[in-house]
Structures are given as C-alpha cells and as structure tokens.
Structure 1
Amino acid sequence: MGTFIGHVLPGCFFFLYGLWFLVRCSFICFYRRAGVDRSGSIRLWLPFRCCRRRRRSETESGLVRLSYEGLIVIACALIGFVGELATGNWQLYVVRESATHHPYVEYIHMNKFEHATMYAFFFLVGLVTVIDSMVSFQLQFPLGIDRVSFALAYAVEGLLFFYHLDGKSGLEVRVHVLLIYAIIGCVVATLLEIVFPTSLLCVTARSFCTVLQGSWFFQIAHVLYGSSPWEETSDNSRFVVMVFCWHIFGILVGSLVLFFSVSLVAMKCCSHRVDSRNEWSDRKLEEESLMLQLQQEDNSSV
C-alpha cells in the first residue's frame, strides 16, 4: 500500500461500498416515510439465487441465496491481499548474521503484511456475509454476526494503522491519524447497528464514514505519492486537517443531494406502489372506524 495505486485501490473499495449503502439507505428512507416498507432490521446484503438443486419437498425452494455484497467484498479483499504479498515476494523475514556471527531474524516488508492482514479481515467479513445469506443450507448464525464481523474488521484496520505510524514523518502521521478518526466512526456506527438493527441513522452513519475513508485514501495517495508530493512543513500539516473537514462537508452535501435525488426518482417510478399502499391504509382505517362505530351503537342500544 506504500504506493499511489496501493492507496487508490482500497479507496475505491471503501468509497463505492459506502456509496452503495447510501443509495440503499435513501430508498429505505423514502419507502419508510411513504409507509410502504415496514421491515425490521436492515440487511447488509442483497440476495441473488443460484445453484439450482432438486427439491426434496414442496416447501423447499431448491435455490441457494447468496450475497452480492459479500462476493464483491471477497473478490476485492483477495485482490488486495494477493497484490500486497506478491509485490513483497511473500517473504516476511530473513535470517542474517551479526558482527559476532550470531544469526538473528530481521522482519521485512512489514507494511505489506500489515495491509495484507487488513485485507484478510475484510475477506472474513465477505465470507461471513455469504455464509449467513445461504438460507437453504439451514445455517444458524447468531443474529447480527455480519455486523460483528464488520466492526471487528474496522477495529483491526484502525489498530494496524495506529501502529503503522512508528517512524513516519509528521505529515504522514497527520494524514493517517485523520484516517483513523474515520475508521473509529465506522466502528462506533457498526456497534450501534448491533444494538439498534432497525435504525436507519446508524446504517447511514456507517456508510458516511466508509465513504469518508475512501475519499481520504484518495487524498493520502495525492499528498504522499502524487505527481508533486507535499513538503514537510507546519503549514501543510495544518492545511491537511482543513482538507479533511472539506471532505466531511462535501460528503455530507453529496449525501443530502443523493437522498433528495433518490426521493424524486422513487416518487416518479414507484408512485403506483405508494398510492396502492396508501389506498389500502385508508380503507383499513375506514373499516376500523366503521367497526368502532357499530360497536358503540350496539353498546348504546344495550
């Protein structure tokens, strides 16, 4: 990851993944306000059907549901994992001899193995998400295991980047500390999702911090490995904090525009569904009021 591409690659993953969930949160928000969607907890995956099997009974669907997002996370994590270790020749240490001819172990490519460890935990997230979505195999996972795995992956990422700062320059330390703040936001929001699985605000907060991670990875690539890397000055160290605030402001404005745009699109494309739901609700209220009126007349006659 100590290259321009090494920071852009995870930046694309986090940015697109968080953006995808912001879009989903926008649609869920619209449907909930319209009274169409009254579902419970918000899933971290969308299913698709594959692996047609012979049915054993009338109730068995014969299809295995897998997770789109989980498979994409697995693929991205494998690409990052193999890319990091392949450029380091898969070698973690070498045995050298000291001046007194005593052998000792020297660890090499530490940055690459730290980043590979991060990718390995996100691979675990994708694997857990895929297995949790395979309902046809009667797998009984604890509720919220996907969010627990996500929180663990984010926490490990923050831990690795925290100790990644040893021996770094002041500007490099500053940009990575700001990245850790975004990671902490992801951890806190994901833990809150475990406690409040139906809260749209928690999912939106996690998605927001994930997009912030991705955009800040792009900024780190530009600051440290761009065509003209920033110089090590106190003004640049202060200015990069302001740039981080601009990222937060831009993502916040973009999220509001996204929610507004999705509401307009959903209102135009799904108006018939919303209208039918509202008509059904109105008829239900009329029936309940009529029943209540009849009960009151019966009571008065008695």
Structure 2
Amino acid sequence: MANFKGHALPGSFFLLFGLWWSVKFPLKYACRKNKKVFYLGSKAGFQRVEVIEGIVKAVFALIGMLAEQFVPDGPHLKLYNYKAQEWDHLMNWQHSTMYLFYGISGVVDILTHATNVVPVAFDRLMLSIAVFVEGFLFYFHVHGRAMLDIHVHILLLTSIFGGALCLFLEVFYRGNIILELLRTSLCILQGSWFWQIGFVLYPPGGDPEWDQKDHNNMMFITMCYCWHYAFAWLLLAVNYTVVVWLVRIKMKEAKPAEMGLLKTSEWEQESEDEI
C-alpha cells in the first residue's frame, strides 16, 4: 500500500460498496413504504441480494490479500526474515489482516442469509468488528511519520470508527434507514479519502510532492476532508431521490391484477420489520 495504487485499490472497494448501499438501502425503504410492488422488494429477494453482496465482499478481500502478499516487493507469506533478523514487510501484513476480517465478514453474510445457522444480527456485528479492526490497525500504522502523513490518516480514522459505531448500533436497530444512510455516507467518504491520501502522499504522473511540514497544507487537507463528506451526502441524496422516484413510477404502472398476483402467502406472513 506504500504507493498510489495501494491506496486506490481499497479506495475503489469502499467506493463501490458505498455506491451500492446508496441504492440498496433507499430501495428497501421505498419498498416498505410502497407495499413491496415488485419481487426485489420481498424478503426472499433481499436475502439473495445479501448473499451476493457477501460473495463479492469475500472475493474483494481475497484479491486484496493476494495483492498485498504477492506483489513483486511483497512478503510472499513470509512473516519473519531470519537472515536479516527482522520482521518482513509488516505493512503488507497489516493490510492483509485488514482484508482478512472483511473476508470473514463476507463469509458470515453468506451463512446468515443462505442458512438458518447464524443469528440474523451477526452479519452486522461481524462487519462492525471488521471496520473496527481496520481502524485499530491504522491507528498504530503511522507512528513516527511526517506531520501531514499522520494527519491524513487521523482524518481517515474518523470515518472508519464512525462507520464501526453505526454498524454496531445496527445490531440492535436493524433496518433503521437513518443509521444505514449514515453508514453509507461514511463508507463513501472512506473510499474517496483513500484516493485523496494516494494523491497527497504519492502523487501520480510525476507531480511534485506535498510539503509534509507545511501547516497550510494541513489546514487545506482538513477543509478538503469536509468537501469529500459533502460530496458523499450529495451523491447519497441523488441516488436516494432517483430510487424513490423509480419505485413510485413502478407502483403507478402496476395494474391491480398484477399487484394481486404479487401478494402471495409470503407477503402475508412477512412484516415490514422482517425486510
């Protein structure tokens, strides 16, 4: 991760999940409000979506671990260098550990929604733990570095621990649209900020490096962080509006007969909270 691509990779992962959540959660909310107009709004439909999401999360985590371990200058699964009598590429190992917990979260998602073995709330708990572990690792990641380097990572920790707290609350308040949207906004922020860190610390294309000790750079980057969060909420608001609008159009277009066919025994047994 000690280069631009290494920050762009996790940044892309978090952005993709944030963008997906910015569509999924408004869709679930709109389906509850509009009496589940189409099949995707059913409990079974969303369970399939959760299983797919878990598979994607596990695959992304595996890609991240392989990338950290088997890049040309990576540790290649070697933790200790006995010749040099020192730990081998601990930064790569830390990143691999971060991806490992997200991979476990993906597996738990699959087990939670594809079987009856795991309690329903356990998927949120495991994702909360994965996000917390990410923040815990990054907190001890930048000791002894330049001032600006430490500052951009501390800002990143704000979104990480905020997301972990939201997910932990979702264990007890599952389906709360406010918590889900807040979590989504912090995920988008985290993804875009990973990209920003790459541009600050490892400018691509031969651009001049930032002065790591300039206080003005710290002031600007703090303001830039707020801009990133404003952009995350703007993106979330646009997706929310579009999804709710499309669901309402779908509801108006649905004929009474079609809606009657959709109202199977599954609908009758299922409450809004179960979705």
Say whether the fold is shared (TM-score over 0.5): yes
**Which residue is 2:225 aligned to?**
244
Question: Kindly tell me: are residues 207 and 95 of structure 1, through their superposed partners in 2, closer, same or farther at Cα, counting changes over 3 Å?
Answer: same
Letter in structure 2 aligned against 1:7: H
Cα separation, 1, equivalents of 2:218 and 2:256: 54
**Which residue is 1:109 aligned to?**
89
Question: Kindly tell me: are residues 34 and 156 of structure 1, through their superposed partners in 2, closer, same or farther at Cα, counting changes over 3 Å?
Answer: same
For residue 145 of structure 2, give the secondary structure of its aligned residue in structure 1: coil
Question: Kindly tell me: are residues 262 and 81 of structure 1, through their superposed partners in 2, closer, same or farther at Cα, counting changes over 3 Å?
Answer: same
If asked which structure has higher relative contact order (CA below 8 Å, sep 6+), I would say 2
Question: Is the counterpart of residue 79 in structure 1 residue 80 in structure 2?
Answer: no
Question: Kindly tell me: are residues 191 and 18 of structure 1, through their superposed partners in 2, closer, same or farther at Cα, counting changes over 3 Å?
Answer: same
Question: Kindly tell me: are residues 78 and 22 of structure 1, through their superposed partners in 2, closer, same or farther at Cα, counting changes over 3 Å?
Answer: same
**Which residue is 1:126 aligned to?**
106
For residue 143 of structure 1, give the secondary structure of its aligned residue in structure 2: coil
**Which residue is 2:203 aligned to?**
226
**Which residue is 2:243 aligned to?**
262
**Which residue is 1:167 aligned to?**
144
**Which residue is 1:298 aligned to?**
none
Question: Kindly tell me: are residues 132 and 35 of structure 1, through their superposed partners in 2, closer, same or farther at Cα, counting changes over 3 Å?
Answer: closer
Cα separation, 2, equivalents of 1:276 and 1:201: 34
Q: Map 1:134-149; keep pairs closer than 5 Å.
A: 134-135=114-115, 139-149=116-126
**2:34–2:251 contact (8 Å) kept in structure 1:** no
**2:101–2:130 contact (8 Å) kept in structure 1:** yes
**Which residue is 2:159 aligned to?**
182
1:180-239 CA distances to partner (integer Å, 9 max, x unpaired)? Answer: 000011111101101101311111111111111101111111111123232221111111
**2:75–2:89 contact (8 Å) kept in structure 1:** no
**1:155–1:187 contact (8 Å) kept in structure 2:** yes
What is the CA-CA distance between 1:19 and the residue it aligns to?
A: 1.1
For residue 82 of structure 2, give the secondary structure of its aligned residue in structure 1: strand
Question: Kindly tell me: are residues 274 and 73 of structure 1, through their superposed partners in 2, closer, same or farther at Cα, counting changes over 3 Å?
Answer: farther
Question: Is the counterpart of residue 67 in structure 1 residue 51 in structure 2?
Answer: yes
**1:14–1:214 contact (8 Å) kept in structure 2:** yes
What is the CA-CA distance between 1:277 and the residue it aligns to?
A: 10
User: Cα RMSD between the aligned structures?
Assistant: 2.8
**1:36–1:277 contact (8 Å) kept in structure 2:** no
What is the CA-CA distance between 1:143 and the residue it aligns to?
A: 2.8
**2:124–2:168 contact (8 Å) kept in structure 1:** yes
Q: Which has the higher helix share?
A: 2
In structure 2, the gaps of 5 or more residues are 38-42, 261-275
1:118-149 CA distances to partner (integer Å, 9 max, x unpaired)? Answer: 001111011111122223xxx42123110111
**Which residue is 1:89 aligned to?**
75
Q: Which has the higher strand share?
A: 1
Question: Kindly tell me: are residues 238 and 274 of structure 1, through their superposed partners in 2, closer, same or farther at Cα, counting changes over 3 Å?
Answer: farther
What is the CA-CA distance between 1:85 and the residue it aligns to?
A: 1.0
Question: Kindly tell me: are residues 221 and 276 of structure 1, through their superposed partners in 2, closer, same or farther at Cα, counting changes over 3 Å?
Answer: farther
What is the CA-CA distance between 1:8 and the residue it aligns to?
A: 0.7
Question: Is the counterpart of residue 216 in structure 1 residue 203 in structure 2?
Answer: no
**1:223–1:230 contact (8 Å) kept in structure 2:** yes
What is the CA-CA distance between 1:35 and the residue it aligns to?
A: 4.3
Cα separation, 2, equivalents of 1:114 and 1:274: 55
Question: How many residues get paired?
Answer: 252
**1:85–1:116 contact (8 Å) kept in structure 2:** yes
TM-score, normalised with respect to structure 1: 0.76
**Which residue is 1:289 aligned to?**
none
Cα separation, 1, equivalents of 2:162 and 2:31: 27
Question: Is the counterpart of residue 198 in structure 1 residue 181 in structure 2?
Answer: no
What is the CA-CA distance between 1:265 and the residue it aligns to?
A: 2.0
In structure 1, the gaps of 5 or more residues are 49-65, 98-104, 280-302
Question: Kindly tell me: are residues 182 and 260 of structure 1, through their superposed partners in 2, closer, same or farther at Cα, counting changes over 3 Å?
Answer: same
User: Which structure has the larger Rg?
Assistant: 1
